[in-house]
Amino acid sequence: MDNTLAAIRDLVATHDRFAVFSHARPDGDAYGTSLAFGYMLRAMGKQATVYNQDGLLKSYQHLPGAEDIVATPVLWPADSGVVIAVDTSTYERLGEGLVRAKVIPELNLDHHASNTLYGKINHVVGDSPASAQVLFEVAQALGWPLPAAAANCLYVGLMTDTGSFRYRGTTARTLAIASALVSAGADPSALADQCFRRNSLGRFFLMREVLNQTRFYAENRIAVYHVTPAMFASSGAAPEEGENFLDLLQTINTVEVAFMVQALDTGGTRVSLRSRARVDVSAIAAKFGGGGHKLAAGIRSSLAVEQLEAELLSEIETALSAGNV
């Protein structure tokens, strides 16, 4: 057993109370992995609470245990147990509640290659397609229990972060893990239905507007759209319902890089980037203080929407011509 695994084993064995965190603006892998960790700890007789800066987002309320997710308190209580972070590439993304209290996680478990290793124990598997897979491997190596509720949560993490087992990084091992999770009680068709066929009408109206205003550059190899607070207001979509429209742009056969630029209510700009294969969008995001994976990355910036978009377009065009795409 390697040192990190032994340290994780000892951390869990020698403590009784745990607080499991994932990143703000949580997705299926963040919620799924943190909830599954909670179930595993409780199955070992521990106390575990699952926190998120954003509490429970409506679109994930079907996850087993979702109703018990606690919104991170503004002031983090000192006696809340051993802090574990999952699926979170930087300390700041764990959210203000924890960051203000300057609590350093005892364990940082993740699959983002750009993870800054902010934990006391860092278990980061950069080529793993989901944190759910990383946690499954740890649990299996250490002989931890896998209750059915944990299997369902891990399955959601694996399914959503692999784009339903379509993205690169989906290996025979990933599918073997999915199979093990189904054997342990995960229900693939029910979970797919709950994750992918429960969009609100507001989200559909927002999607219609996004598709209408998508623009193409560099001989249709770059696609971009904007999202504004006004578009959320007119469509009736919830703030978290603006995700994953880039998947639609990526279905177009000419598109190498698709990105969206969102003006935030709070001021500032958020960007998501996706690449088909040849352009490393995490390298581009890094130039603007962002990060992520080679084929999927993000940025938060104080630059205005128009300026950030113009600078990104020029960086992406440079990358496209450098790669002779």
Can you give the binding site for Mn ion, defined by CB under 5 A? 29, 87, 131, 161
Nearer to Mn ion, 28 or 81 (CB): 28
Nearer to Mn ion, 29 or 315 (CB): 29
Nearer to Mn ion, 191 or 223 (CB): 191
| Smallest separation (angstroms) from Mn ion to the CB of 293 | 9
Counts of helices then strands in the chain (DSSP H, E): 12, 12
Nearer to Mn ion, 124 or 255 (CB): 124
Nearer to Mn ion, 161 or 241 (CB): 161
- Say if residues 37 and 6 touch (Cβ distance below 8 Å): no
The residue length of the chain stands at 325
Q: How far apart are CA 303 and CA 1, in angstroms?
A: 47
| Nearest residue to Mn ion, by Cβ distance, number only | 29
Residue spans of alpha helices (H) in 84-199: 96-101, 131-142, 148-161, 172-183, 188-196
Nearer to Mn ion, 124 or 312 (CB): 124
Q: How far apart are CA 265 and CA 157, in angstroms?
A: 28
Nearer to Mn ion, 161 or 309 (CB): 161
| Smallest separation (angstroms) from Mn ion to the CB of 162 | 10
Q: How far apart are CA 126 and CA 108, in angstroms?
A: 13
| Smallest separation (angstroms) from Mn ion to the CB of 111 | 6
Beta strands in 47-165 (DSSP E): 47-52, 70-71, 82-86, 107-110, 121-124
| Smallest separation (angstroms) from Mn ion to the CB of 34 | 11
Q: What does the block give as tokens for 13? A: 């064995």
| Smallest separation (angstroms) from Mn ion to the CB of 125 | 11
| Smallest separation (angstroms) from Mn ion to the CB of 161 | 5
Q: What does the block give as tokens for 321? A: 């011509």
Could you tell me which of 180, 193, 154 has the C-alpha nearest to residue 29?
A: 154
Q: How far apart are CA 152 and CA 90, in angstroms?
A: 26
| Smallest separation (angstroms) from Mn ion to the CB of 157 | 7
Q: What does the block give as tokens for 15? A: 């403590």
